[in-house]
């Protein structure tokens, strides 16, 4: 029992490094041998934690999801439901990508492109995380509509699709072109998409800016 907290701490450190690597090189870029050399841990020690490359990949997806919740979801949930939360959710995502919480930008942007056409347990885990994110954005928009802060005809699924596309575009352009301005362009585009849907423009979080 004495060694368990230390083992858990070591496992978390390994997974944090694995998520950083995967954000740049993809989950297929992970290997127990490669991680053991980089972290100075024996292969047998790492194998004891994960057992196989697939289990390492799955554990890395779960670890990245926990970080994503901390960096993106929790800050948004600190804001009351409504248009302010919609904006905070988008802003938190853009900040998470721009600050390079993962060195390769959004972890899930990278691994989704890697696994979207490949069946299996890892793809299912990535797809589930992506679906959870999309549904959260949809639900946040729908809450704002139900509260009367967005027009009645606002289609939460469509608006969520567009906002996520704008955020992911900023992530991709910033990585490929090394263009930090992509994030401000995304913020402006998100504002432009939400502004005509708002029932009270004074309630917009950026109205005074």
**Tens of pLDDT along 74-121?**
999 999 999 999 999 999 999 999 999 999 999 999 999 999 888 999
Burial call 170-202: b when 16+ CB within 10 Å, e when fewer? bbbbbbeeeeeebbeebbebbbeebeebbeeee
Distance CA 177, CA 196 (A): 31
Q: Is residue 135 part of a domain?
A: yes
Q: Is residue 126 part of a domain?
A: yes
Angle between helices 107-115 and 156-177 (to 10 degrees): 100
**Domain coverage including residue 115:** 57-200
**Tens of pLDDT along 10-42?**
888 899 999 999 999 999 988 888 888 878 777
Judged against a pLDDT cut of 80, whether residue 207 lies above it is answered with no
* The model's pTM: 0.91
Overall number of domains in the chain: 1
Judged against a pLDDT cut of 60, whether residue 4 lies above it is answered with no
197 contact partners, CB below 8 Å, separation of at least 6: 150, 151, 154, 159
Residue 6: the pLDDT is: 61
pLDDT band at residue 138, thresholds of 50, 70 and 90?
A: very high
Q: Is residue 150 part of a domain?
A: yes
Judged against a pLDDT cut of 50, whether residue 1 lies above it is answered with no
Residue % of the chain over a pLDDT of 90: 73
Q: Is residue 81 part of a domain?
A: yes
Q: Is residue 6 part of a domain?
A: no
Distance CA 205, CA 85 (A): 9
| CATH label of the domain that carries residue 117 | 1.10.357.10
48-52, 152-156, 174-178, range with greatest mean pLDDT: 152-156
Q: Is residue 100 part of a domain?
A: yes
Q: Is residue 164 part of a domain?
A: yes
């Amino acid at each position: 029992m004495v060694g368990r907290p230390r083992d858990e701490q070591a496992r978390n450190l390994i997974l944090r490094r694995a998520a950083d690597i995967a954000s740049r090189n993809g989950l297929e870029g992970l290997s127990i041998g490669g991680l053991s050399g980089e972290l100075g841990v024996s292969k047998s020690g790492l194998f004891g934690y994960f057992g196989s490359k697939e289990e390492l990949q799955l554990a890395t997806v779960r670890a990245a999801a926990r970080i994503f919740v901390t960096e993106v979801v929790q800050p948004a949930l600190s804001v009351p439901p409504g248009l302010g939360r919609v904006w905070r959710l988008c802003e938190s995502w853009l900040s998470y990508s721009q600050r390079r919480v993962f060195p390769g930008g959004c972890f899930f942007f990278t691994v989704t492109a890697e696994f979207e056409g490949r069946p299996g347990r890892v793809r299912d885990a990535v797809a589930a995380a992506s679906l959870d994110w999309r549904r959260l954005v949809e639900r946040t928009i729908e809450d704002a509509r139900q509260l009367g802060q967005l027009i009645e005809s606002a289609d939460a699924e469509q608006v969520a699709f567009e906002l996520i596309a704008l955020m992911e575009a900023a992530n991709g352009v910033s990585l490929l072109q090394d263009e930090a301005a992509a994030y401000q362009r995304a913020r402006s585009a998100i504002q432009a998409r939400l502004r005509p849907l708002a029932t009270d423009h004074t309630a917009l979080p950026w109205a005074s800016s």
